[in-house]
Amino acid sequence: MNTRIKTIERKIEGIAIYQRETDGYVNATQICKAHLEITGERKDTSNWLQTKMAQSAINKLSLVTGIPVTELIEVKQGGKYQGTWIHPRLAVRFTMWVNDDFSLFVEDWIHSWLGSGYTPAQMEADIDRIAMRDKLKNSSRTALTDQVKSFLEASNQYNPRSKETGIFFGRVHNEVNLVLTGEKASDMRQRLESSLGKPVSENELLRDYFPITDLADYAAICQTAANNIENGMHPINAIKMAAKQVLPPNHVPNPIDFTEKISFARYRLEQARRGRFYLEDEK
């Protein structure tokens, strides 16, 4: 997959500071370096993160946006984009702590980014992807899980506390991954970590990084497999059959080209609905 990060080059007194185009995150490390070059005073992001003000702001923002605390501050190791990247709604507060004069520049950057291109077409794409993700979570995947549970209960093999039950559910869900992508969850997680440049928790849902087409295919396989199990098929065979039923005849399992995490699309849509940023399509 293409992991190149699209950025906007900002400047303070000629010193480059990057902002990510997709989510507006600002490179806080570069702000500190600019402050050092201009004033000779050293400040560090880690010191700000330890302040009560920063911790309070981060926790409140996580609560409001649904973005985990660990994702509001991102650390990239090595390369052109190394450093600490912070959510745009934290960037102004952080910069005021570093250098109050800089904060006016950063505030302008955030306003510029917010109004720079969230068109109706992009908004519609976010709405569709979020709806499909919610359908998968609340309906299709639940249907598959319920049918697998019923299958095990019918043979007195279901025990939610047993290792064997957990392993069987893992096999079933990995089979969905394999017929669609050719990868197990562990393979996808490793590739996602390489793309993001940071560890991905076992509790993090990989499907939150699926584009809408893959979400739709995944949901269709889950729902159809659930129907097949209900009709008497073994869960693994039911998934293999479902793939043949819902995917194109010429489908070849290929690794998914991950996209941004769904929480960012939810945040963007929430801001648009509040009137924070929304552009009409150009005529």
User: 159-199: per-residue pLDDT in tens?
Assistant: 999 999 999 999 999 999 999 999 999 999 999 988 877 78
Please give the Cα distance from 224 to 246 (Å, whole number). Answer: 8
Mean pLDDT in residue range 104-111: 88
pTM, to two decimals:
0.66
CA dist 26 and 87 (Å) reads 7
Q: What is the pLDDT of residue 102?
A: 93
pLDDT at 1: 40
Query: Please, what is the Cα angle at 54 between 40 and 14, to 5 degrees?
Result: 35
In angstroms, the CA 117 to CA 273 distance is 15
pLDDT of 214 higher than 80: yes
Q: Indicate the helix (H) or strand (E) that contains 105.
A: helix 100-114
Domains in the chain, CATH or no CATH each: 7-114 (3.10.260), 120-273 (no CATH)
Strand locations in the chain, DSSP E? 7-12, 15-20, 26-27, 73-76, 83-86
What is the average pLDDT value for the chain, to the nearest integer? 89
Q: Which residue has the higher pLDDT, 20 or 218?
A: 218
Tokens of 12: 């303070």
Evaluate if residue 137 carries a pLDDT over 60: yes
Q: Name, of 61-75, 133-147, 258-272, the range with top average pLDDT.
A: 133-147
Q: Is 25 left (phi over 0), alpha (psi -120 to 50) or beta?
A: beta
Instruction: Identify the pLDDT of residue 94.
Output: 96
The single-letter DSSP state of residue 21 is T
Selected residue with higher pLDDT from 206 and 197? 206
- Work out the average pLDDT over 42-63: 93
Residue 213 CB coordination number (10 Å): 12
How confident is the model over 208-213, as a mean pLDDT?
95
Residue 2 has pLDDT above 50, yes or no: no
Residue 279, pLDDT above cutoff 50: no
* Backbone phi, psi, residue 73, to 5°: -125, 120
